[in-house]
Amino acid sequence: MSDGISNAGRLIVVSNRLPLGPNPSGGLVVALHDALSERSGIWVGTSGQVVDQPGPKFDRHDGLAFERLSFDLSPAEHAGYYLGFSNSVLWPLFHGRADLVDARAADLDVYRAVNDRLAMMLAAEVERDDVIWVQDYHLLPLAGALRKLGVTNRIGFFLHIPFPALYDIMALPNSDEFIRWLGYFDLVGLQTVRDCARLLEAFRSRPDAELLFDASVKFGDQRVEARAFPIGIDTTAFAAEAAAATGPGLPLAPGERMIIGVDRLDYSKGLPNRFRAFRRYLEAHPDSGITLLQIAPPTREDVAAYRDIRDELEGLSGSINGQYADLNWTPIRYIHRPVPRAQLAGLYRQARVGFVTPLADGMNLVAKEYVAAQDGDDPGVLVLSAFAGAAEQMQAALLVNPFDLDDMAGALARALEMPLAERRDRHATLMDGLLTQDIAWWSAAYLKTLRGVKRGLN
Ligand code: ADP
């Protein structure tokens, strides 16, 4: 294989969960559909089925312009690989929550074993010129496992969540191995420049790694390149969906205005502090008639930390509503279930403020969806945590510190009072960015870099 841009060969995408069904939806599907369709690509991932005896081979699914290969997990694999090492060690640590880590040596063994099993099945599919693109933290060991089986193809990785700080890497039960896992990829894509800096710091701290002049890393006889590719949304489609939304929206009294929050119910999303900041705003503006609509469907409820956050939020919303509600107004409307996409788009558009305050977030697509959903003639205002990856691109939002309640309450007041001209200016700037760096840009930019990446050290 040459060092130049390799345009031959299929694209093989590997992600934890394979999008199944005749019409799969979601950001990654939109991102990868064209790239996979172009050269009879393959998408590989778990089926979502947990079965006692997973088969030794992939199941094949047709019906799309590319092939999909799924595999099942056993109950022990689901517990150790998915709930255990992925979501009770990597997820909390990479989101700066070492206190929530629940590390068990047996889970790490299963995590490695699932990646080894997947590598075995995958190696049998790979052809000489294929390019492999691995998605996210469930599959960190996959490149190393494939290399061990003799696969020499280009292999790229994209981390959708934040890259951890050095001290959080040290809190891993296998920090050395983590760095080695990364070293087997040719390209590691990250959401932000800040994440790239952390990755380089992690390698720089090791005597066996060397930063090269082109900012790639020499690690043993491997070369790894790290670059930021901020993931986007299908901006045009989402804007059109919001403009066409005809649903009832949230019934509001005359003069009542709405702030919206939409998140999976995850401790990284900063929901308790968001509610507290809203209470701080109400303390200063008790008669403002502002309602916070928080949509937070449950997720990963088999992991203990997710049950705790649910109890905390129910307590907070109950006490705030108890203090402020009257016959005509409930200040916090807290909805603990998913909402259909089209309706969500309409709710974003109805809200005067998008209140997006994660304590840590790889990107945060809700911030982007909120902006794309606005009416450009009379747009709402995005209040965005500086700790979301999206803040790096979305400087025209009102950026806040999600640990500082006064800062967030002040930003809510400013957003709700912002003159039309300033709202339009900020929205136009944000929208420009979202249209340029949308989801199609993201996958094209990544794949172009992966196909062109210099391989090896000579
Ligand atoms: P994460 O990937 O950590 O969940 P993101 O903000 O990047 O966070 O992406 C969340 C996605 O899930 C967005 O596309 C958002 O629209 C969708 N989503 C979140 N909550 C809901 C909900 N209650 N109903 C429907 N979709 C939701």
Alpha-carbon distance of 403 to 111, in angstroms, equals 33
Q: For 406-457, what is each residue's pLDDT tens digit?
A: 999 999 999 999 999 999 999 999 999 999 999 999 999 999 999 999 887 6
User: Cα of 15 to ligand 1 centre, how many Å?
Assistant: 18
Residue 22 is predicted with a pLDDT of: 85
Going by pLDDT thresholds of 50, 70 and 90, the confidence category of residue 332 is: very high
User: Cα of 365 to ligand 1 centre, how many Å?
Assistant: 7
> Which ligand 1 atom sits nearest the alpha carbon of residue 296?
23
What's the CATH superfamily of 235-436? Glycogen Phosphorylase B; (3.40.50.2000)
User: Cα of 373 to ligand 1 centre, how many Å?
Assistant: 14
Model confidence at 6: pLDDT above 80: no
- State the architecture of 11-232+440-452 in CATH terms: 3-Layer(aba) Sandwich (3.40)
- Ligand 1 contacts CB of residue 233 (under 6 A): no
- Ligand 1 contacts CB of residue 276 (under 6 A): no
- Ligand 1 contacts CB of residue 338 (under 6 A): yes
Q: For 288-305, what is each residue's pLDDT tens digit?
A: 999 999 999 988 888 888
Residue with CA nearest ligand 1 atom 9: 365
107, 195, 234, 361: the catalytic one is: 361
Q: What phi and psi values does residue 377 have, to the nearest 5 degrees?
A: -80, -25
> Which ligand 1 atom sits nearest the alpha carbon of residue 361?
3
Q: For 301-326, what is each residue's pLDDT tens digit?
A: 888 888 888 889 999 999 999 999 99
- Ligand 1 contacts CB of residue 360 (under 6 A): no
User: Cα of 352 to ligand 1 centre, how many Å?
Assistant: 19
Residue 3 is predicted with a pLDDT of: 45
Question: Which residues make Cβ contacts (< 8 Å) with residue 405, sequence separation at least 6?
Answer: 273, 276, 277, 280
**Residue limits of CATH 3.40.50.2000 in the chain:** 11-232+440-452, 235-436
Question: What average pLDDT score do residues 32-39 get?
Answer: 89
Q: For 263-276, what is each residue's pLDDT tens digit?
A: 999 999 999 999 99
Model confidence at 1: pLDDT above 60: no
Answer yes or no: 361 catalytic. Answer: yes
Q: For 343-400, what is each residue's pLDDT tens digit?
A: 999 999 999 999 999 999 999 999 999 999 999 999 999 999 999 999 999 999 999 9
Residue 2 is predicted with a pLDDT of: 41
Question: Which residues make Cβ contacts (< 8 Å) with residue 13, sequence separation at least 6?
Answer: 32, 36, 41, 42, 43, 44, 133, 135
Question: What average pLDDT score do residues 102-117 get?
Answer: 98
- Ligand 1 contacts CB of residue 264 (under 6 A): yes
Answer yes or no: 336 catalytic. Answer: no
User: Cα of 415 to ligand 1 centre, how many Å?
Assistant: 23
Mean pLDDT for the chain?
A: 94
- 14 touches 146 (CB < 8 A): no
